[in-house]
Structure 1
């Protein structure tokens, strides 16, 4: 079904065509009509499935129909977990609204930039505000922002926001926005905490779930290579020299590791850089832009790059260090094989990671053969599995022991009667 079938305003459809999209993705097909009918939505679909457009397009349509004259008033608030996703969503609103008779004033507010400048920009008039939750709360505390005209409240990547402590901050936000509004929540996973968060925001959302969009299947070829920790760097250099990978995204466990290995690979003559939360915002933007333009071949990143980054043509994702959770594994490998293209995901594991990767496989419903590369074989023996220490009992008796003694005493007493 082409985008025309949604009865969106023709300037929006024109912008969609110019962006190269002809048919909506499954999540867009389900969600856009529901948003246009002004329903509250709780949608679960994987990163890379086109979630952003499923709220950007209908919000632009509804906003344009009710646009009042004069200085822009904040009608839509979109909160995201990362700066990059905030900038990306703001860009989507601008590009999809560029042909509207009155263009929306879209403002993105993120950490790492002057809060004074951001407050000034808001006060000059703003129709659509896209923000990281942390910086939005910083601005909210200044009490210089009028949210009384708000009609749309969107949480994008809501599950990731929960990880960042968003649940504790939610009350402050809900107190600041009108009770009557349209709520749109998008999440890639659905942890138990999500239900309580969702119920605070909206009592009766329409649930939209697209399980089939798990990016672990079909167009992503997954490999697991067993290698000792000290040989991971040399093995990666070997693979980069022997395989024809153009753009490679390598996930590291922490910021320091990503910086150190990028510097080491540059010494070996590779076009490499690091991407992590310690970079200044302008440096983060610059590195991403260079990677998108293929001026950087290898990007060593922390999990900050696992979600929401819309980078086409990543040939290969490498889990140099395994992610902590199976859900993060899904998000990481979903950076490749996008838009119907084929992709490759490689995970390095040693003896210490075998059990953890087996758990990832179980939760992701996959089973992958283990490989070893000649010259980089996994050597040594797995460490013996240790049993945990026996529980140390306190000096006093436990409730269970007391209950057992009481039951035994009662039995004895009844036998003596």
Structure 2
């Protein structure tokens, strides 16, 4: 299927071609005809599936080319970053139309936004809090809203905006078309849909389990203590022009940013504890090239769209494999070639194996000073590898606490019975431990050389 099959206005089709789009994504293919027919819709789809275009293109088609300058379409989003991204997409897709789009959000002085609103608009992208402020002050009216979009409804629920969403929906026209998008469908979101939508069409897009083929993936297996040094070396490589580094926690993002700064690599962190002003400043500096490394958590990264992102680094592997796909999918967009490098230590092997099982392939190993060999005990990685890794770790810890030449107490008590009960699994674990000890020993010089490089950089 092609975009021209939707019979969109020529101005919209030209804008789609200009944006480099060729074939619609699954959610676009399913949602656009539904929205053009005027039906309400509830869609379960994650970020990175193309859902913004899925509702933006039909909205532009339905509103036509009129210049009425009254708010006929309202898109509610949970965060400032997502609001700005959607606003920019509407400008991109509607570049050849006379429709006007305005974006309002909190955390900034209202003056410039009010100036934009005073000129009127056809499409309004807003966060709930700032929108209610303006409505309460009589600065705008929602009585003409005939198209209402609730984007990332589950996040609005998490952030406590659902009450505001209900209030805003009550201000729009009763006879309207309502669209709800959510990555997950908790009971509260289902109840909200029952309240606000009329006989909706339901669409569920399966999570993406395959990364785009324009992203080159690799894995660097190492010990946890070496991750910062290895990351600094990777970020200093030629060709790493603009990159996002993912961490699992907010504190970890801040700590890593400080450590990279000490090493002479300018980086800023972005996460939920930052003010909107701080997040926006970091994004603007990153997009402009003022800094080339942005450190982010998964939650804060939702809604970030950075063109020409050369690299994604997973400093820590995510809890769920779908997040891995979304992370690395920020590179290699619009046909560009990108690269994703994941740093993994023994404690993260289970997450690694989950990722590889989902993709049905192993990540190729990247050999660099400080990395150590990873011996997978079964194809694609599975629980056996995890158990062997845990056994190896336990054996190393036991070796540290047992004097040289001594026999561990439990092994001595079991005697020959212990050998029998261990069987093949025990021998494999022992061999695994021996290989790991040998690998660590053989790479100790490399570890010291990396530390020396970092010390010289920070000095």
Q: Matched residues in 1 for 2:212 and 2:252: separation? A: 30
Superposed CA deviations along residues 306-339 of structure 1, whole A, max 9, x for unmatched, are 3222223333322223445555444323322333
Structure with the largest fraction of helix: 2
Residue of structure 1 in register with 2:43 after alignment: 43
Question: What is the aligned counterpart of 1:99 among 91, 96, 100?
Answer: 96
RMSD of the TM alignment (CA)? 3.6
Gaps spanning 5+ residues in structure 2: where?
A: 374-388, 398-459
Q: Which residue does the alignment assign to 1:155?
A: 150
Q: 1:134, 1:321 → 2: CA distance?
A: 34
Q: Distance in 2 between matches of 1:332 and 1:8?
A: 32
Structure 1 residue runs of 5 or longer lacking an equivalent are 385-417
Q: Where do residues 183-332 of structure 1 align in structure 2 (5 Å cutoff)?
A: 183-191=178-186, 193-211=188-206, 213-216=208-211, 218=213, 220=215, 222-241=217-236, 244-277=239-272, 281=276, 284-332=279-327
Aligned twin of 1:20: 20
TM-score (norm. length: structure 2): 0.69
- 2:431 — aligned with what? none
Contact 2:240 2:310 in 1 (8 A): yes
How far the C-alpha of 1:278 sits from its partner, in A, is 5.5
Assess, with a 3 A threshold, how the Cα gap between structure 1 residues 18 and 359 changes in structure 2: closer, same or farther.
closer
CA separation of 1:246/1:192 partners in 2, compared to 1, >3 Å: closer, same or farther? farther
* Distance across 1 between alignment mates of 2:349 and 2:192: 35
CA deviations 1:250-298 (Å, max 9, x no partner) are 0134445434433432332334333345556565445434434555332
Matches within 5 A, 1:21-170: 21-64=21-64, 67=66, 69=68, 72-100=69-97, 103-115=98-110, 118=113, 121-122=116-117, 124-142=119-137, 144-170=139-165
Displacement of 1:86 after TM fit?
Answer: 0.8
TM-superposed CA distance for 1:21, in Å, is: 3.0
Residues 361, 367 of structure 1: 8 Å contact kept? yes
Change (3 A) 1:343 1:97: closer
CA contact (8 A) 2:151 2:181 kept: yes
2:212–2:329 contact (8 Å) kept in structure 1: no
1:332/1:126 CA distance change after superposition, 3 Å: same
Structure with more relative contact order (C-alpha pairs < 8 Å, separation 6 or more): 1
Cross-structure match for 1:410: none
Distance 1:155 1:273, change over 3 A: same
Secondary structure in structure 2 of the residue aligned to 1:81 = coil
After superposition, the C-alpha distances for 1:97-123 in whole angstroms (9 at most, x for unaligned) are 2322xx223111112112465456445
Report the TM-score when normalising by structure 1. 0.75
CA contact (8 A) 2:310 2:331 kept: yes
Partner Cα separation in structure 1 for residue 334 and residue 112 of structure 2:
37
**Pair 1:173 & 2:168 matched:** yes
Whether the 8 Å contact between 1:106 and 1:130 is mirrored in structure 2 is yes
**1:397 maps to what in 2?**
none
Higher mean displacement: 271-280 or 127-136:
271-280
> Number of residues paired by the alignment?
378
Show CA shifts across 1:150-204 (max 9, x none): 1111122333333323344433233222222111222344445443332222142
2-structure distance, mates of 1:81, 1:32: 23
Residue 236 of structure 1 deviates from its aligned partner by 0.9
CA distance in 2 between partners of 1:268 and 1:278 (Å):
25
Give the aligned partner of residue 391 of structure 1. Answer: none
After TM superposition, list the pairs within 5 Å mapping 1:312-391 onto structure 2: 312-341=307-336, 343-355=338-350, 364=358, 368=362, 375-377=370-372, 381=393
Q: Is the 8 A contact 1:306 1:328 kept in 2?
A: no
